[in-house]
Amino acid sequence: MSLHGVEKALYDLGVDRASKTAFREDPDTFLQRYRLAPDEHAMVASFDVASLIALGVNPMLTMGYWIQVAPDRSMRSYMARLRAPSEKGPA
């Protein structure tokens, strides 16, 4: 696993228009650009921000990625998802 790879993917999704477009069109193909373990790939593709935070991802990166590319980009939805129990346990 590579925390750096996850954070690089989230950073790109937060700041790069071409990355956002590519992710929206095909998240799995976009995420193949990064060295991610299968569980990391799944966390990013499914917007599992609680698990990303538990993994140690910078909270500002998770929030920026959510606001830029999540289906429901509201902060209320982000906070609800953040508080939801993840596969790794409660956030």
**Structure confidence by residue, pLDDT tens digits, 10-62:** 999 999 999 999 999 999 999 999 999 999 999 999 999 999 999 999 999 99
- Its pTM stands at 0.87
> Taking a C-beta distance cutoff of 8 angstroms, is the pair 78, 66 a contact?
yes
Q: How many CB atoms lie under 10 A from the CB of residue 12?
A: 18
- φ/ψ of 15, rounded to 5, equals -125, -15
Which amino acid does the sequence have at 67?
Answer: I
Would you state the pLDDT for residue 86? 54
Residue 78 tokens read as 């982000």
- φ/ψ of 42, rounded to 5, equals -65, -40
Q: At which residue do the structure tokens 């939805």 appear? A: 77
